[in-house]
Structure 1
């Protein structure tokens, strides 16, 4: 929009005209900067659905260097492979999706589900069908444990959130991931959509997003930035043990509620990067369609928390859980009007 004023400095109205024009230009510029720094998805009003998110900032951070993650370099990885750089702001859930949160999805999708009643990739280890209730329920005491599920059902969960939790089948089958692509070719390779749609509001994090959220610290090395070896803001392995004495339940073979180690966090405030469940990633491990997973779990060693240790899982397996990725909602449009109003008020006081 172009503003043209014949007399720019005549009394109060001249000052207001100049101020408003400048404010609009500044507001447009600011909104442009926000759009560039946000996730590629179309930002706007996005419900959190009771999920606690942390914003992961510092767009354009450098990737993991050789000293920080040797397994990301030859001979372990191909030449030119890099990990950790993300050029936009995004959000990550502070904890893994809980059994209680997953239960809501399971009962919502139940009318359209045609697999085995208590298949772990759909129900997790903690949800069972109760004939007396006519619906699924969580095993008592497990509601705040980290849920496990299959990659494909994690994708449907993201679709459902993307579509506003609409209780119709279409809302589960597309949005972030097109489930019509879920299949296998003649060679046995999985054909699932490799990456989310560009306008996805919720998604399964890729390797770069996960590594940055768990390990990148802009303040490390006297403000130069750097990656911690472990997802606990430390280069020392976390101590396995119960809450209050330990820093993770990795390798303890005991289950605890998510967030039970509140003083052990990633640089961005994420909890349970170690222990709980290993976590699904969007990134493909190979052309066969197998997906990467990251992190240790309740039965695994803390060595799996090292920054350059990854694993993989079939999209129909159910060992891992989900830490949700999401867009950073843009400020409402009225913010620009508030800026204009403030400038006009300032001009009036002059």
Structure 2
């Protein structure tokens, strides 16, 4: 990468997404398809993050399902949802910008008043193959930006300055032998309980249980059996094992100070790619990266680059590990919208 950019230290949380929903859809009409019923804990107890109340006051139809979900990654994103969130940030008002440091890493904290304007901004959603339309503002990271932040070691560590995992250099070619330790989650809150065992990531290590939790307000049987697809308990337990843990709870940084680029939720980039067949397609496909809490270590490797249609409605309903990480290009100035 030859241009300067910033990338979010953490994934976008459920609390932040709910604030966006109530801003972008204040009347609860869901005209933009920003919410699905499977995101409700009544339909999907183990993964339901957000409640919808049709009778609530304007700007209050959406709420975090349980307090424990507020600091977990939003897990039902497609690219179009992610781009609308970015446009809301881009069109919003930047209230403050604060620089800080932690060891060898420099951080910038932005406080933004979100905008209800979601269809144009950094991305023009009238154009299916939309790319960045401005040189300054909030963005979804490109594939190259995401990979550099996760794996490239500016101090020359790893193999040819690249780590095998976003958490530690590892050894290329040794399978999962040098993978980070798997996170263990508090069974009722989803907080990481073994952060002292570094390096660490939320993924499903071979021969060990996937990191999982069930909100303490629910009966454990509901999380282990109730699902919106009618799967029997045994099949459901095999397919849906890993849960999303508290953002940053693993405390293991990439070479650039980010957290959770390995495991937890896979993340969208704004990079357009050819479909798997390599032939033309009416649908627009985008790259994703990062591995998930339900998958093994190899999904955290640099080579494990995924791709999905940007509007994959099937995944909206069935895949609760699709996350968002925000980037910044250019120099943002507080007070401007």
The structure number with the bigger radius of gyration is: 1
Partner Cα distance (2:307, 2:201) in 1 = 22
Q: 1:163 to 1:331 in 2, by over 3 A?
A: closer
Partner SS, residue 307 of structure 2: strand
Q: CA RMSD in A?
A: 2.8
- Conservation of the 8 A alpha-carbon contact between 1:117 and 1:129: no
1:180-210 Cα shifts (integer Å, max 9, x gaps)? 12xxxxxxxxx331x2113340111111000
Q: Does 1:100 align with 2:15?
A: yes
Partner Cα distance (1:292, 1:125) in 2 = 25
Runs of 5+ consecutive residues of structure 2 not aligned to the other structure: 41-46, 94-112, 171-177, 185-191, 205-209, 211-241, 275-279
TM-score by length of 1: 0.61
Q: 1:208 to 1:163 in 2, by over 3 A?
A: same
Runs of 5+ consecutive residues of structure 1 not aligned to the other structure: 1-85, 182-190, 333-350
Q: 1:283 to 1:330 in 2, by over 3 A?
A: closer
Report the number of matched residues: 234
Partner Cα distance (1:122, 1:108) in 2 = 18
- 306, 329, 336: which one aligns with 1:311: 306
- 81, 88, 92: which one aligns with 1:160: 88
Partner of 1:180: 126
Partner of 2:253: 265
- 139, 143, 146: which one aligns with 2:73: 146
Greater mean deviation of Cα atoms: 116-125 or 307-316: 116-125
Q: Which has the higher contact order (CA 8 A, sep 6+)?
A: 2
After superposing on structure 2, the runs of 4+ consecutive aligned residues of structure 1 that deviate more than 3 Å are 115-118, 120-125, 131-134, 165-169
1:68-93 Cα shifts (integer Å, max 9, x gaps)? xxxxxxxxxxxxxxxxxx11111111
Structure with a larger share of its residues in strand? 2
Partner Cα distance (1:326, 1:311) in 2 = 23
Structure with a larger share of its residues in helix? 1
Partner SS, residue 329 of structure 1: coil
Alignment of 1:44-193 (within 5 A): 86-111=1-26, 113-114=30-31, 118-119=35-36, 125-134=48-57, 135-140=61-66, 141-148=68-75, 149-164=77-92, 169=116, 171-181=117-127, 191-193=128-130
TM-score by length of 2: 0.63
Partner of 2:182: 240
Structure 1 residue 104, shift from structure 2 partner: 0.6
